[in-house]
Structure 1
Amino acid sequence: MAGSRPKSGPTMHDVAAAAGVSQATVSLVLNSASGSRFSEETRRRVRDAVDRLGYRTNAHAKVLRDGVAGMIGFIGDSVATTPFAGAIIEGAQERAWEDGLLLLTMNTGGDKDLEAASLDTMLSYKVAGVVYAAMYHRRLDVPEALAGVRSVVLNSQDRAGRLPSVAPDEVKGGYAATRRLLDAGHRRIGLINIETLESRLPAAVGRYEGYTMALEEAGLDVDPELVRFGGGGEEDGYRYAVELMTAAKPPTAIFCANDRTAWGAYQAVADLRLSIPADVSIVGFDNQTTVAPHLRPGLTTFELPFVAMGRRAVELILQDAEPHGGVELMECPLIERNSVTHPKEMP
C-alpha cells in the first residue's frame, strides 16, 4: 500500500525461532563473545538461520554496545581522480577487512567545507579511526576534529607534529635511484627535479638529498650544470632534457624525479635523434602505471609503496597507540625495466 512503512526485515527473534535457540545464544554466536561455549551444531544452526532469513546485524546497536562502529573513515583530497588512489585505498581497505572492518571513503577534491562535513558525518557514525590521506607527499594542516578520534596522516605529514604519519622515504628513494645509475658505471648523472628546494616539498627536497648523498659517497661532486628544477610535468622534462643533452658536455644518465618528467625526457631524446638507453640512461620515480610500463623502452623507476602505506596507516589505528607526531617512512622498491645500461665510453 502506498505510504505504508517498509518491512524492517528479519529480527534476532526470528533467527532464534528458526534455529531453535534463545535470542541470547544468537547474539553471543554472532558476536563471537569470549567465554561463550556452544557446540558446533548450535553455531551451524544459527548461521544457517541467518543465511536463510537474510538477517543483518544492526550497526547502530553495535555503536551503542561497543562505542564504535565497524568502520574506519578514509578522507582524501583526490582519491577519486589520482592514478595512485586505487592502490592506497586497496591497502587500507584490505587491512581493515582483515579485522572485520569496512572502509568508509570520502573524496573531498580539496574542498575544505566538504572535508569538514565529511569528517563530521564520519565522527557521528562513531568510526573506529580516521585515515587522513593526501595524494602527494607534503606537510599539511590537519583538521582539529581529528584530535577526538584515533587518526593517522597518510602519504603526508602533520605540520603541527601531533598525529602519526606514514609516508614514502624520499631520501632513500633518491639515493637508490642515483645508486642504480652509478652501479651501471655512470659518472655524469643529471637530475631533473619536480620542484625547487625552496618549496620544501618533501619529495623534491628528499630526492635531491638522496641524489647528492649517492654522488658524494661515490667521490663525485654535485655539478650544478647537471641539475634542473622543474614542476613535475612532461613539459619541464622535455625542456630540461633538451638543455642537458645539447650541452657541451652532456650527462650519460638522467634521474627524473617523477615519471611524468621522464616521459617528457623520452620525447626530448627522440626529437634529438638519440636513443635510450644507448645514448642516455633514464631512471624515473613513482612507477605511475599509466606511464612507466608503456614508454619504449620500459622505464626503470621506483615505486611509491601505496598499498603498503595504506595497510600500515590502518594498522596504526588498530594498534590503538597513543597519539604522537612521529613519521614512519616506507621504502620505495626498484622496478627494473629497460631504460638503464652502461655508458658508451665503458669498455
Structure 2
Amino acid sequence: MTKRSVGIKDVAAAAGVSVTTVSHVLNDVAYARVGTETRERVHQAAQQLGYGPNRLAQALRTQRSGMIGFISEEIATTPHAGRIILGAEETARARGYNIMIINSTSTGSQDSRESDVADLLDRQVDGILYATMYHRKLSLPKNLTGVPAVLVDSEDINRSVSAVIPDEAGGARLAVQTLIDAGHTRIGMINNTDDVPATHSRLKAFQDTLADAGLTFHEELVHSELSEVPGGHEAALRVLQSPHRPTAIFCYNDRMAMGAYRAAGELGLRIPEDLSIVGFDNQQLIAENLYPSLTTVALPHYEMGAWATKNLIDAIEGKTDLQLLTAHPTVLPCPLVLRNSVASPQPGPREGSAEQIARTTT
C-alpha cells in the first residue's frame, strides 16, 4: 500500500483553522490578518504532519519557479566574503526559495556577464542577486534590468538597480575613534592603492575623524600599497620609520594589518605596548590568530546577503517595489570587534622620536 500524501486540509484540521488560513500562513500572504498564535499553530501542525507545499502546483498558480539566481564575482571561491552567500541562502530557504549560483570573475567581459545572466533567465529564475567580492561600482549587464535584481556589496554606476553596501566611512570612523579614545594623538594609516570606493571613503573618514577630534593630519604618516600582507609590511615600515613615528596605525584591511605586525616586530616594537593597530574586514582566520589578536571592523557580509534576498523576494511576491530603492544604495553598519591590539600610549619618549634623539645627542 502506498502512503497517502498529507494535504492542506489535513493541516487545517490539525490546527483547527480553515484551509484559507493555512494557505495564507504557509505562503506568507502580506494582507492576511492572522494572529501570531494561530500562525505558530499552523506551522507546528505542518511540521508534525510533514506537510510541504506542492512546488509544481504552486509554480503553475503563481507563475514563479521558486528559484533565485546568484551571480558571484569570485566570492564563492574566496574566504573573504563567503558569508554573503550564507546570508542569502538561509534567508531564501526560510521563504521557500532555492538559490542557483554562477561564479564569475571581476575581470570578465561585458559579454560574459550578459551570458551569465542569460543562463539564469533560461532557467526561469524569479530574480537575480549580483554580488562582488569587495565594494565597487559596476557597469551592469543590459539584460539584468529586465528582471527583479539586487546588487550586493556593489553599486550600479547608472543607479538603475537597487543595491546594499557596507558603511565604509562609518566603519573607518569607529576604528580611528577607538584609537583616539585610547589616548593616541599621532595616528598613521596604511591604505590600498586600488581605485575603489573603500580606498577613498576610508581615507576621508580617517581625515575627518582626526579633524573632529582637533588632531593634525600628517600626510607623511599615510602610505599606500597593494592591500595584501607584503603591501602592509612595506607601507608600515615607511610609516614607522618616519622621524616622528605614530603610536597607532589604522590599516585598510586585516591582511595589511598582518604586514604591519611583521614590520613592528622587525623594528622591535611591541603590540599594543609600543604600537596600537586596528584593521578592517574582520577576517577571523587572521584577526583571531594574530598575537595579540587584532581589533578590527567587521564588514556586514551575512547581513548584506540576507537584506538583498529578503527585499528581492518581497519584490518577486509583489510586497515591495525595488525601483523605490534605486536612487541611493542601502547602507548597513560595520561594527567594531574589540580584541587585544589597542592600548593607551606609553608615557615618556619613544624610540626614534625627536625628543629621544635630542636626549641621546646631548
TM-aligned CA distance change 1:317 to 1:44, over 3 Å: closer
Q: Match for residue 284 of structure 1?
A: 279
- CA gap 1:183/1:34 in 2 versus in 1, 3 angstroms: closer
Q: Structure 1: where are the runs of 5+ without partners?
A: 1-9, 23-27
CA gap of 1:115–1:31, structure 2 versus 1, over 3 A, is: farther
Q: Give the secondary structure class of the aligned counterpart of 1:155.
A: strand
Q: What SS does the corresponding residue of 1:319 show, helix, strand or coil?
A: helix
Distance 1:261 1:30 in 2: 57
CA distance 1:314–1:44, shift in 2 (3 Å)? closer
How far apart are residue 315 of structure 1 and its match?
1.6
Matching of residue 84 in structure 1 with residue 86 in structure 2: no
Q: 1 CA distance for matches of 2:337 and 2:118?
A: 40
Cα displacement (A) at 1:231:
1.7
Match of 2:330 among 328, 337, 345: 328
Does residue 1:242 correspond to 2:237, yes or no?
Answer: yes
Residues 162 and 322 of structure 2 are in contact (CA less than 8 Å); yes or no, is this contact kept in structure 1?
A: no
Deviations 1:175-225 (A, max 9, x none): 1111000000000000001126xx2x1111111111111100011121101
Q: Distance in 2 between matches of 1:104 and 1:206?
A: 33
Among 219, 222, 228, the alignment partner of 1:227 is 222
Q: Does structure 1 residue 101 correspond to structure 2 residue 97? A: yes
User: CA contact under 8 A between 1:269 and 1:275: conserved in structure 2?
Assistant: yes
Aligned residues: 317
Matched letter for residue 118 of structure 2 = D
- Amino acid of the structure 1 residue aligned with 2:342: V
Distance 1:64 1:142 in 2: 31
Q: Quote the sequence identity (%).
A: 37
**Could you tell me how far 1:35 is from its partner in structure 2?**
11
Distance 1:31 1:195 in 2: 57
- Tell me which residue corresponds to 1:195: 193
Which residue of 158, 161, 164 corresponds with 2:162? 164
Q: Secondary structure at the match of 1:105?
A: strand
Code of the residue aligned with 2:258 in structure 1: it is W
Q: For structure 2, which runs of at least 5 residues remain unmatched after alignment?
A: 11-17, 27-40, 316-320, 349-362
Matches within 5 A, 1:40-79: 57=54, 59=56, 62-79=58-75
Shift of 1:30: 12
Q: What letter matches 1:95 in structure 2?
A: T
| Residue in 2 that maps onto 1:5 | none
Among 205, 208, 219, which residue is 1:210 paired with?
205
TM-score, normalization by structure 2: 0.79
TM-score of the superposed pair, with normalisation by structure 1: 0.82
Q: Distance in 2 between matches of 1:138 and 1:35?
A: 39
The question of whether the paired residues in 1 share the 8 Å contact of 2:220 and 2:242 is answered with no
Deviations 1:109-161 (A, max 9, x none): 34445543332232233322111000110001111111111111100111111
User: Within 1, Cα distance between the matches of 2:146 and 2:132?
Assistant: 20
Q: 2:357 aligns to what?
A: none
Note the alpha carbon deviations across 1:219-271, whole angstroms, 9 max, x for none.
11211011111221111211121112122110000000101100101111111
Match of 1:144 in 2: 142
Q: For 1:159 and 1:15, how far apart are their aligned partners in 2?
A: 55
Structure 1 contact 138–202 (Cα < 8 Å) conserved:
yes
Query: CA–CA distance in 1 between the matches of 2:308 and 2:222?
Result: 35
Q: 2:119 aligns with which of 108, 118, 121?
A: 121
Give the aligned residue type for 1:241: A
Supply the distance in 1 between the matched residues of 2:277 and 2:24 (Cα, whole angstroms): 57
Contact 2:175 2:250 in 1 (8 A): yes
What secondary structure does 2:129 align onto? strand
RMSD: 3.2
User: Letter of the aligned partner of 1:237 in structure 2?
Assistant: G
Q: Which residue of 1 aligns with 2:132?
A: 134
**SS of aligned partner of 1:154:** strand
SS of residue matched to 1:153: strand
- Write the distance in 2 (CA, Å) between the matches of 1:155 and 1:295: 27
Give the superposition deviation at 1:86.
Answer: 2.5
The answer to whether the Cα contact below 8 Å between 1:181 and 1:340 also exists between their aligned partners in 2 is yes
Contact 1:138–1:156, Cα closer than 8 Å, also in 2: yes
- Kindly indicate whether the alpha-carbon contact (under 8 Å) linking 1:83 and 1:290 is maintained by their aligned counterparts in 2: no
